[in-house]
Structure 1
Amino acid sequence: MAADAIMGRAAGQPAWRSGQVRGKFGSMLIAFGGLPATGKTTLARAVAAERSAAYLRVDVIEQALRESGTLANEVGRAGYAVGYAVAESNLRLGVTVVADSVNPLPVTRAAWRAVARRAGVPCLEVEVVCTDPAEHRRRAETRAADIPGLAGPSWAEITRRDYAAWESPRLVLDTARLGVPAALDALRTAMANLAGA
Protein backbone atom coordinates (compact mmCIF):
# COMPACT_ATOMS: atom_id res chain seq x y z
CA MET A 1 0.00 0.00 0.00
CA ALA A 2 2.83 2.41 0.82
CA ALA A 3 4.43 1.63 -2.56
CA ASP A 4 1.12 2.35 -4.29
CA ALA A 5 0.89 5.70 -2.53
CA ILE A 6 4.47 6.55 -3.44
CA MET A 7 3.87 5.68 -7.11
CA GLY A 8 0.65 7.73 -7.19
CA ARG A 9 -1.67 4.93 -8.28
CA ALA A 10 -4.68 3.13 -6.92
CA ALA A 11 -3.94 0.29 -4.52
CA GLY A 12 -3.17 -2.91 -6.40
CA GLN A 13 -3.08 -1.27 -9.84
CA PRO A 14 -0.05 -2.40 -11.88
CA ALA A 15 2.46 0.42 -12.28
CA TRP A 16 2.49 0.14 -16.07
CA ARG A 17 -1.28 0.64 -16.24
CA SER A 18 -1.03 3.79 -14.16
CA GLY A 19 1.34 5.37 -16.67
CA GLN A 20 3.88 6.05 -13.92
CA VAL A 21 6.45 3.51 -15.09
CA ARG A 22 5.91 2.70 -18.75
CA GLY A 23 5.08 6.18 -19.99
CA LYS A 24 2.00 7.75 -21.43
CA PHE A 25 1.59 5.50 -24.47
CA GLY A 26 0.84 2.13 -22.81
CA SER A 27 2.28 -1.21 -23.82
CA MET A 28 2.83 -1.97 -27.50
CA LEU A 29 5.04 -3.90 -29.90
CA ILE A 30 7.27 -1.76 -32.10
CA ALA A 31 8.51 -4.04 -34.89
CA PHE A 32 11.37 -2.60 -36.89
CA GLY A 33 12.52 -3.87 -40.27
CA GLY A 34 14.90 -2.85 -43.01
CA LEU A 35 18.10 -3.87 -44.70
CA PRO A 36 21.35 -3.84 -42.74
CA ALA A 37 23.10 -0.44 -42.45
CA THR A 38 19.95 1.65 -42.88
CA GLY A 39 20.03 2.88 -39.26
CA LYS A 40 17.29 0.73 -37.77
CA THR A 41 19.37 -0.49 -34.81
CA THR A 42 20.31 3.08 -33.90
CA LEU A 43 16.64 4.09 -33.89
CA ALA A 44 15.39 0.90 -32.22
CA ARG A 45 17.88 1.23 -29.36
CA ALA A 46 16.99 4.89 -28.87
CA VAL A 47 13.25 4.15 -28.70
CA ALA A 48 13.82 1.24 -26.32
CA ALA A 49 15.92 3.38 -24.00
CA GLU A 50 13.46 6.28 -24.09
CA ARG A 51 10.47 4.01 -23.38
CA SER A 52 12.24 1.70 -20.89
CA ALA A 53 11.15 -1.05 -23.25
CA ALA A 54 12.42 -4.59 -23.71
CA TYR A 55 14.84 -4.54 -26.64
CA LEU A 56 15.02 -7.70 -28.77
CA ARG A 57 17.59 -7.83 -31.54
CA VAL A 58 17.30 -10.94 -33.68
CA ASP A 59 20.99 -10.75 -34.71
CA VAL A 60 21.98 -11.09 -31.03
CA ILE A 61 19.63 -14.04 -30.55
CA GLU A 62 20.97 -15.76 -33.68
CA GLN A 63 24.59 -15.26 -32.62
CA ALA A 64 23.83 -16.68 -29.17
CA LEU A 65 22.30 -19.75 -30.83
CA ARG A 66 25.43 -20.21 -32.96
CA GLU A 67 27.70 -19.85 -29.93
CA SER A 68 25.65 -22.40 -27.99
CA GLY A 69 26.85 -25.06 -30.41
CA THR A 70 23.30 -26.25 -30.93
CA LEU A 71 22.96 -24.44 -34.25
CA ALA A 72 26.51 -23.96 -35.48
CA ASN A 73 26.01 -22.20 -38.81
CA GLU A 74 22.64 -21.57 -40.37
CA VAL A 75 20.10 -20.79 -37.67
CA GLY A 76 17.20 -20.48 -40.10
CA ARG A 77 13.96 -19.45 -38.45
CA ALA A 78 15.14 -20.23 -34.92
CA GLY A 79 16.26 -16.67 -34.07
CA TYR A 80 12.94 -15.20 -35.12
CA ALA A 81 11.00 -17.95 -33.30
CA VAL A 82 12.86 -17.18 -30.06
CA GLY A 83 12.26 -13.45 -30.61
CA TYR A 84 8.53 -13.95 -31.08
CA ALA A 85 8.25 -16.01 -27.89
CA VAL A 86 10.27 -13.59 -25.73
CA ALA A 87 8.39 -10.61 -27.14
CA GLU A 88 5.02 -12.15 -26.37
CA SER A 89 5.95 -13.05 -22.80
CA ASN A 90 7.10 -9.46 -22.14
CA LEU A 91 4.04 -7.93 -23.79
CA ARG A 92 1.80 -10.08 -21.58
CA LEU A 93 3.52 -8.49 -18.57
CA GLY A 94 2.63 -5.04 -19.88
CA VAL A 95 6.14 -4.26 -21.08
CA THR A 96 6.59 -2.46 -24.38
CA VAL A 97 8.82 -4.44 -26.75
CA VAL A 98 11.07 -3.06 -29.47
CA ALA A 99 11.91 -5.79 -31.99
CA ASP A 100 14.96 -5.08 -34.15
CA SER A 101 15.42 -7.32 -37.18
CA VAL A 102 15.69 -7.20 -40.95
CA ASN A 103 12.12 -8.54 -40.94
CA PRO A 104 12.50 -9.29 -44.65
CA LEU A 105 9.41 -11.25 -45.63
CA PRO A 106 5.63 -11.02 -45.38
CA VAL A 107 5.67 -14.14 -43.15
CA THR A 108 8.03 -12.54 -40.59
CA ARG A 109 6.01 -9.33 -40.54
CA ALA A 110 2.76 -11.24 -40.12
CA ALA A 111 4.31 -13.22 -37.26
CA TRP A 112 5.20 -10.02 -35.34
CA ARG A 113 1.64 -8.75 -35.83
CA ALA A 114 0.30 -12.09 -34.57
CA VAL A 115 2.45 -11.79 -31.43
CA ALA A 116 0.90 -8.40 -30.67
CA ARG A 117 -2.61 -9.66 -31.41
CA ARG A 118 -2.23 -12.64 -29.06
CA ALA A 119 -0.88 -10.34 -26.33
CA GLY A 120 -3.75 -7.88 -26.87
CA VAL A 121 -1.54 -4.88 -27.66
CA PRO A 122 -1.13 -2.64 -30.70
CA CYS A 123 1.71 -3.18 -33.15
CA LEU A 124 3.61 -0.36 -34.81
CA GLU A 125 5.51 -1.60 -37.85
CA VAL A 126 8.49 0.54 -38.82
CA GLU A 127 10.46 0.15 -42.02
CA VAL A 128 13.80 1.94 -42.04
CA VAL A 129 15.25 2.65 -45.48
CA CYS A 130 18.17 4.60 -46.91
CA THR A 131 17.21 5.83 -50.38
CA ASP A 132 20.69 7.15 -51.16
CA PRO A 133 22.64 4.09 -52.41
CA ALA A 134 26.03 5.78 -52.03
CA GLU A 135 25.29 6.70 -48.41
CA HIS A 136 23.88 3.24 -47.69
CA ARG A 137 27.02 1.64 -49.10
CA ARG A 138 29.28 4.00 -47.11
CA ARG A 139 27.50 3.02 -43.89
CA ALA A 140 27.74 -0.67 -44.69
CA GLU A 141 31.45 -0.47 -45.43
CA THR A 142 32.46 1.73 -42.50
CA ARG A 143 30.32 0.59 -39.57
CA ALA A 144 32.00 -1.29 -36.77
CA ALA A 145 30.77 -4.72 -35.74
CA ASP A 146 28.88 -4.46 -32.44
CA ILE A 147 28.05 -8.11 -31.77
CA PRO A 148 31.09 -10.12 -30.62
CA GLY A 149 31.85 -12.93 -33.03
CA LEU A 150 29.51 -11.65 -35.76
CA ALA A 151 30.83 -9.76 -38.77
CA GLY A 152 28.32 -7.54 -40.52
CA PRO A 153 27.29 -8.34 -44.08
CA SER A 154 29.23 -6.87 -46.99
CA TRP A 155 27.62 -4.38 -49.36
CA ALA A 156 27.35 -7.14 -51.97
CA GLU A 157 25.55 -9.38 -49.46
CA ILE A 158 23.17 -6.56 -48.51
CA THR A 159 22.26 -5.86 -52.14
CA ARG A 160 21.64 -9.57 -52.81
CA ARG A 161 19.54 -10.08 -49.68
CA ASP A 162 16.03 -11.46 -50.11
CA TYR A 163 13.88 -8.52 -48.99
CA ALA A 164 10.25 -8.40 -50.11
CA ALA A 165 8.34 -5.18 -50.68
CA TRP A 166 6.31 -4.24 -47.60
CA GLU A 167 2.56 -4.46 -48.17
CA SER A 168 1.08 -3.89 -44.72
CA PRO A 169 0.64 -0.39 -43.23
CA ARG A 170 3.82 0.85 -41.59
CA LEU A 171 5.79 3.95 -40.73
CA VAL A 172 8.59 4.45 -43.27
CA LEU A 173 11.68 6.32 -42.07
CA ASP A 174 14.18 7.31 -44.75
CA THR A 175 17.48 7.90 -42.98
CA ALA A 176 18.98 9.45 -46.11
CA ARG A 177 16.59 12.37 -45.51
CA LEU A 178 15.93 12.24 -41.76
CA GLY A 179 18.49 12.59 -39.01
CA VAL A 180 18.08 10.66 -35.78
CA PRO A 181 16.19 13.46 -33.92
CA ALA A 182 13.65 13.90 -36.72
CA ALA A 183 13.19 10.14 -37.09
CA LEU A 184 12.61 9.80 -33.35
CA ASP A 185 10.03 12.62 -33.48
CA ALA A 186 8.19 10.74 -36.24
CA LEU A 187 8.29 7.57 -34.14
CA ARG A 188 6.93 9.37 -31.07
CA THR A 189 4.05 10.78 -33.12
CA ALA A 190 3.24 7.36 -34.60
CA MET A 191 3.32 5.74 -31.14
CA ALA A 192 1.03 8.41 -29.71
CA ASN A 193 -1.39 8.02 -32.62
CA LEU A 194 -1.43 4.24 -32.26
CA ALA A 195 -1.97 4.42 -28.51
CA GLY A 196 -4.87 6.83 -29.02
CA ALA A 197 -6.54 4.72 -31.71
Structure 2
Amino acid sequence: MLVVMAGLPGTGKSTIGQVVASRLGIPVVPVDPIETAILQAGIASDQPTGLAAYLVAETLAERVLEAGTGVLIDAVNAVAPAREQWVHLAARTGEPIRFIEVVCSDPDLHRERIESWRRSMPHIQLTWNAVEQSLDDYSEWTGESAAIARITLDSVEPLGTNVERAVAFLQS
Protein backbone atom coordinates (compact mmCIF):
# COMPACT_ATOMS: atom_id res chain seq x y z
CA MET A 1 0.00 0.00 0.00
CA LEU A 2 1.05 3.56 -0.72
CA VAL A 3 0.31 5.76 2.29
CA VAL A 4 0.56 9.49 1.62
CA MET A 5 0.69 12.08 4.38
CA ALA A 6 -0.57 15.60 3.69
CA GLY A 7 -0.76 18.77 5.76
CA LEU A 8 0.97 22.02 6.49
CA PRO A 9 4.36 22.09 8.19
CA GLY A 10 4.11 21.89 11.96
CA THR A 11 0.78 20.06 12.05
CA GLY A 12 2.38 16.86 13.30
CA LYS A 13 2.17 14.81 10.10
CA SER A 14 5.79 13.64 10.26
CA THR A 15 5.45 12.49 13.86
CA ILE A 16 2.20 10.66 13.17
CA GLY A 17 3.59 9.25 9.92
CA GLN A 18 6.74 7.89 11.59
CA VAL A 19 4.75 6.09 14.27
CA VAL A 20 2.21 4.73 11.79
CA ALA A 21 4.95 3.48 9.46
CA SER A 22 6.73 1.83 12.38
CA ARG A 23 3.51 0.11 13.44
CA LEU A 24 2.96 -1.14 9.88
CA GLY A 25 6.61 -2.10 9.34
CA ILE A 26 7.00 0.06 6.24
CA PRO A 27 9.64 2.64 5.34
CA VAL A 28 9.07 6.39 5.24
CA VAL A 29 10.16 8.48 2.26
CA PRO A 30 10.32 12.09 3.53
CA VAL A 31 10.50 14.90 0.97
CA ASP A 32 12.12 17.58 3.18
CA PRO A 33 15.47 15.78 3.69
CA ILE A 34 15.64 15.10 -0.03
CA GLU A 35 15.19 18.80 -0.74
CA THR A 36 17.83 19.60 1.87
CA ALA A 37 20.28 17.26 0.12
CA ILE A 38 19.56 18.92 -3.22
CA LEU A 39 20.29 22.33 -1.69
CA GLN A 40 23.44 21.02 0.03
CA ALA A 41 24.63 19.76 -3.35
CA GLY A 42 24.78 23.37 -4.47
CA ILE A 43 21.56 23.66 -6.43
CA ALA A 44 20.34 27.23 -5.93
CA SER A 45 17.19 27.73 -3.89
CA ASP A 46 15.67 29.76 -6.72
CA GLN A 47 15.53 26.52 -8.75
CA PRO A 48 12.55 24.12 -8.49
CA THR A 49 14.13 22.13 -5.65
CA GLY A 50 10.75 21.27 -4.15
CA LEU A 51 9.57 19.71 -7.40
CA ALA A 52 12.87 17.85 -7.74
CA ALA A 53 12.50 16.50 -4.21
CA TYR A 54 8.98 15.23 -4.93
CA LEU A 55 10.23 13.50 -8.10
CA VAL A 56 13.11 11.84 -6.25
CA ALA A 57 10.69 10.72 -3.52
CA GLU A 58 8.39 9.28 -6.20
CA THR A 59 11.26 7.33 -7.76
CA LEU A 60 12.32 5.93 -4.38
CA ALA A 61 8.75 5.04 -3.45
CA GLU A 62 8.24 3.29 -6.78
CA ARG A 63 11.31 1.12 -6.21
CA VAL A 64 10.09 0.20 -2.72
CA LEU A 65 6.62 -0.67 -4.01
CA GLU A 66 8.09 -2.73 -6.86
CA ALA A 67 10.07 -4.69 -4.25
CA GLY A 68 6.76 -5.69 -2.65
CA THR A 69 6.86 -3.42 0.37
CA GLY A 70 4.43 -0.66 1.29
CA VAL A 71 5.75 2.85 1.78
CA LEU A 72 4.67 6.05 3.51
CA ILE A 73 5.31 9.41 1.84
CA ASP A 74 5.92 12.30 4.25
CA ALA A 75 5.23 15.54 2.38
CA VAL A 76 3.03 18.62 2.54
CA ASN A 77 1.13 17.67 -0.63
CA ALA A 78 -0.64 21.03 -0.52
CA VAL A 79 -1.73 21.18 -4.14
CA ALA A 80 -3.63 18.89 -6.47
CA PRO A 81 -0.67 18.14 -8.82
CA ALA A 82 1.38 16.83 -5.88
CA ARG A 83 -1.49 14.61 -4.73
CA GLU A 84 -2.16 13.41 -8.28
CA GLN A 85 1.50 12.38 -8.56
CA TRP A 86 0.90 9.75 -5.87
CA VAL A 87 -2.41 8.64 -7.40
CA HIS A 88 -0.59 8.02 -10.69
CA LEU A 89 2.20 6.14 -8.91
CA ALA A 90 -0.34 3.86 -7.24
CA ALA A 91 -2.01 3.23 -10.60
CA ARG A 92 1.32 2.44 -12.31
CA THR A 93 2.34 -0.01 -9.60
CA GLY A 94 -1.11 -1.50 -9.05
CA GLU A 95 -0.98 -0.66 -5.35
CA PRO A 96 -3.81 0.69 -3.21
CA ILE A 97 -3.37 4.25 -1.98
CA ARG A 98 -4.61 6.02 1.14
CA PHE A 99 -4.19 9.66 2.16
CA ILE A 100 -3.75 10.77 5.75
CA GLU A 101 -4.26 14.52 6.09
CA VAL A 102 -3.14 16.14 9.33
CA VAL A 103 -4.42 19.50 10.52
CA CYS A 104 -3.93 21.48 13.71
CA SER A 105 -7.21 23.19 14.61
CA ASP A 106 -5.59 25.34 17.30
CA PRO A 107 -3.71 28.20 15.55
CA ASP A 108 -1.89 29.17 18.76
CA LEU A 109 -0.59 25.63 19.26
CA HIS A 110 0.36 25.38 15.59
CA ARG A 111 2.28 28.66 15.79
CA GLU A 112 4.00 27.55 19.00
CA ARG A 113 5.14 24.36 17.29
CA ILE A 114 6.56 26.27 14.33
CA GLU A 115 8.34 28.85 16.47
CA SER A 116 9.91 26.24 18.76
CA TRP A 117 10.82 23.86 15.95
CA ARG A 118 14.48 22.89 15.82
CA ARG A 119 14.95 21.35 12.41
CA SER A 120 17.84 19.18 11.46
CA MET A 121 17.61 20.66 7.97
CA PRO A 122 19.03 24.20 8.18
CA HIS A 123 18.66 24.82 4.44
CA ILE A 124 14.89 24.85 4.78
CA GLN A 125 13.77 27.83 6.84
CA LEU A 126 10.33 27.80 8.36
CA THR A 127 8.52 30.73 9.91
CA TRP A 128 4.96 31.17 11.10
CA ASN A 129 4.47 33.78 8.37
CA ALA A 130 5.51 31.23 5.73
CA VAL A 131 3.07 28.67 7.15
CA GLU A 132 0.26 31.22 7.10
CA GLN A 133 1.05 31.95 3.45
CA SER A 134 1.09 28.20 2.75
CA LEU A 135 -2.40 27.98 4.20
CA ASP A 136 -3.58 30.40 1.52
CA ASP A 137 -2.06 28.13 -1.15
CA TYR A 138 -3.38 24.86 0.33
CA SER A 139 -5.77 23.49 -2.30
CA GLU A 140 -9.09 21.81 -1.75
CA TRP A 141 -9.14 18.10 -2.48
CA THR A 142 -10.31 17.84 -6.09
CA GLY A 143 -9.73 15.65 -9.11
CA GLU A 144 -8.55 12.07 -8.80
CA SER A 145 -7.15 12.53 -5.30
CA ALA A 146 -10.57 13.61 -4.00
CA ALA A 147 -11.92 10.16 -4.89
CA ILE A 148 -9.20 8.32 -2.93
CA ALA A 149 -9.89 7.17 0.62
CA ARG A 150 -8.68 9.85 3.03
CA ILE A 151 -8.79 10.46 6.74
CA THR A 152 -8.22 13.82 8.38
CA LEU A 153 -6.59 13.82 11.79
CA ASP A 154 -6.39 16.81 14.14
CA SER A 155 -3.08 16.97 15.97
CA VAL A 156 -4.63 18.66 18.98
CA GLU A 157 -5.75 15.11 19.80
CA PRO A 158 -3.24 12.86 21.59
CA LEU A 159 -0.63 11.22 19.36
CA GLY A 160 -1.77 7.74 20.38
CA THR A 161 -5.37 8.50 19.43
CA ASN A 162 -4.33 9.77 16.00
CA VAL A 163 -2.05 6.81 15.38
CA GLU A 164 -4.79 4.35 16.33
CA ARG A 165 -7.27 6.10 14.04
CA ALA A 166 -4.76 6.11 11.16
CA VAL A 167 -3.84 2.45 11.56
CA ALA A 168 -7.51 1.42 11.80
CA PHE A 169 -8.22 3.46 8.64
CA LEU A 170 -5.34 1.83 6.76
CA GLN A 171 -6.34 -1.66 7.84
CA SER A 172 -10.03 -1.21 6.93
Question: Does the CA contact (< 8 Å) of 2:16 and 2:159 recur in 1?
Answer: yes
Per the alignment, residue 141 of structure 2 pairs with: 166
Tell me which of 79, 83, 102 is aligned to 1:128: 102
Bigger relative contact order (CA 8 A; separation at least 6): 2
SS of 1:42 mapped into structure 2: helix
TM-score by length of structure 1 reads 0.79
Distance in 1, matches of 2:101 and 2:167, equals 15
Distance in 1, matches of 2:170 and 2:50, equals 31
Per the alignment, residue 4 of structure 1 pairs with: none
Contiguous gaps of at least 5 residues in structure 1: 1-27
Aligned length: 163
**RMSD between superposed Cα atoms in Å:** 1.3
Identity percentage of aligned residues: 33
Q: CA deviation at 1:132?
A: 0.9
Question: Does the CA contact (< 8 Å) of 2:40 and 2:123 recur in 1?
Answer: no
Contiguous gaps of at least 5 residues in structure 2: none
Tell me which of 106, 113, 116 is aligned to 1:142: 116
* Letter in structure 2 aligned against 1:189: A
SS of 1:60 mapped into structure 2: helix
Distance in 1, matches of 2:18 and 2:94, equals 24
Question: Does the CA contact (< 8 Å) of 2:39 and 2:123 recur in 1?
Answer: no
Matches within 5 A, 1:70-149: 71-73=43-45, 74=47, 75-147=49-121, 149=122
Matches within 5 A, 1:5-20: none
Tell me which of 119, 125, 128 is aligned to 1:155: 128
Tell me which of 37, 50, 63 is aligned to 2:10: 37
* Letter in structure 2 aligned against 1:156: N
Tell me which of 33, 38, 46 is aligned to 1:60: 33
Tell me which of 156, 163, 171 is aligned to 1:184: 163
Say which one has the larger Rg.
Answer: 1
Q: What CA deviation, in whole Å up to 9, does each residue of 1:99-157 have, x standing for no partner?
A: 0001010111011111111111111101100011111111111121133x334410000
Distance in 2, matches of 1:91 and 1:174, equals 28
Aligned structure 1 segments of 4 or more residues deviating by more than 2 angstroms: 149-152
Q: CA deviation at 1:171?
A: 0.6
Distance in 2, matches of 1:50 and 1:112, equals 22
Question: Does the CA contact (< 8 Å) of 2:104 and 2:154 recur in 1?
Answer: yes
* Letter in structure 2 aligned against 1:182: T
Distance in 2, matches of 1:163 and 1:141, equals 20
Q: What CA deviation, in whole Å up to 9, does each residue of 1:140-184 have, x standing for no partner?
A: 11121133x3344100000001211223141100112x2110001
